[in-house]
Amino acid sequence: MNASLQRGLDAFRRCLDAPTASFFSSCVHCGLCAEACLFYTETGDPNYAPINRLAPLQRLWFQEYTLLGRFLSALGLTKPVTHDELAQWSPLVYDSCTLCGRCALVCPMGIDLVYMIRREREGLAVSGHAPAGLVGATTRNVNKGSAMGVTLDTLRAQIHHQEALTGIPVPMDVQDADYLVLLSSMEIVQFPEYIGALSKIFQRAKVKWTLSSQAFEATNSGIQIGIPDIARQIVMRTVTVAEKLGVKVVICPECGHGFRALRWEGEDLIGRRYGFRVQHILEVLDELHQEGRLPLRTQDQDARPLTYHDPCQIARRGGVVEQPRNLLRKISSDYREMAETGTMNWCCGGGGGVSALEQTVPLRRQVFRRKKAQIESLGVHTLVTACANCRMVMEEDLEVHGMDVEVIGLTEMVADHLEE
């Protein structure tokens, strides 16, 4: 047997833990997870049914961990998992799953399909079947501290632009600040106005904050590619810096997976508690506002009809649902809620590393039809969100679909509505 296949199958075997085995045993094949998955509903292709994506893992479980499977295998009546099969399966596990978690939420048997898909990604990555785009992003994330290869010089240049625009200095490597702020690659490169917005907000709230030259990005490609050791290494970089600087809180940016990795998985990954708290930027903004430290102008609210797109990892899988709405209802006089929203939102179609894969573009265009319909049904031309990846993906798709809709980051919107 080929050595990389052997490593991949061994990784699959390691993944076949108690939750995985009980999940496989309890699936009643009801199909509800398929109806919850964007890639199935928008294509009608049964290959995209979430439970179907687990077929190689499930077959290994059946053959090696069930009595019937072992018996049939001993008689040579089962088909072993092969290299070619893993290669064919890779697009179903990486290219067309955003790890959005909608399928897991609706499963009547409580099967955590995202957990299983991530375990399967681990096996595929170890056997050399992770897509090249994600391997590249992960390598840059580990070696350069940035999934997109953004350098400290690039960040400094963007900071200087923002300082010139706002007239407010951006702090770097400040010891004992209250908050250490992380950014996403896309914010630095495509939406640097996020940095200027933070400066205005924190100056208004009289908050002592800092960026770090050693750990400025939140992106965690280890989670996306499915390799826990890499995810741990990336988390540890932030932990080391935050604890050295002595900050009280690390703020995750408008980035889905970065928040998920650091807030909900990081302590398990590194095997100990952090010496600081982790909050999403929207939690911090809402908290500062509730405490009266961040007054917002309510006398001249934004009158444009607008709606909010919940990023999956922040809302459904992150628990930050009410905070953006608290802020938006203060800022906007015509805030409109999508029909399926909050924890039941529909994904933008580009999370989970999917947007890093060029080959996914046609499929992403196709599945964006769901978000398009949601936006059109509200008659809005302004879409607010809180994840730079969602923002970039939706901006592209709105353009391609010929829709006249502006996408805005909520943090920037808050900065534009600060009371003098």
Nearest distance from residue 62's CB to ligand SF4, in Å?
Answer: 15
Nearer to ligand SF4, 210 or 360 (CB): 360
The three-state secondary structure class of 182 is: coil
Nearer to ligand SF4, 98 or 332 (CB): 98
Q: Which residues contact 67 (CB under 8 A, 6 or more apart)?
A: none
Nearer to ligand SF4, 29 or 273 (CB): 29
Nearer to ligand SF4, 121 or 204 (CB): 121
For helices 113-126 and 83-90, the axis angle rounded to 10 degrees is 130
Nearer to ligand SF4, 102 or 417 (CB): 102
Residues 10-69 that bind ligand SF4 (CB under 6 A): 27-33, 36-39, 50-51
Query: Residues binding ligand SF4: what is the number (CB under 6 A)?
Result: 25
Nearer to ligand SF4, 51 or 327 (CB): 51
Binding status of residue 281 toward ligand SF4 by CB under 6 A: no
Nearest to 258 by CA among 273, 277, 283, 238: 238
Nearest distance from residue 53's CB to ligand SF4, in Å?
Answer: 6
Nearest to 93 by CA among 127, 58, 64, 129: 129
The three-state secondary structure class of 383 is: strand
Q: Residue 258 in contact with residue 295, Cβ under 8 Å? A: no
Nearest distance from residue 129's CB to ligand SF4, in Å?
Answer: 17
Nearest distance from residue 56's CB to ligand SF4, in Å?
Answer: 15
Residues 79-118 that bind ligand SF4 (CB under 6 A): 97-103, 107, 109, 111, 113-114
Q: Residue 57 in contact with residue 116, Cβ under 8 Å? A: yes
Pure H helices in 246-368: 256-259, 266-270, 281-290, 322-331, 361-367
φ, ψ at 35 (rounded to 5°): -65, -20
Contact footprint for ligand SF4 (CB under 6 A): 27-33, 36-39, 50-51, 97-103, 107, 109, 111, 113-114
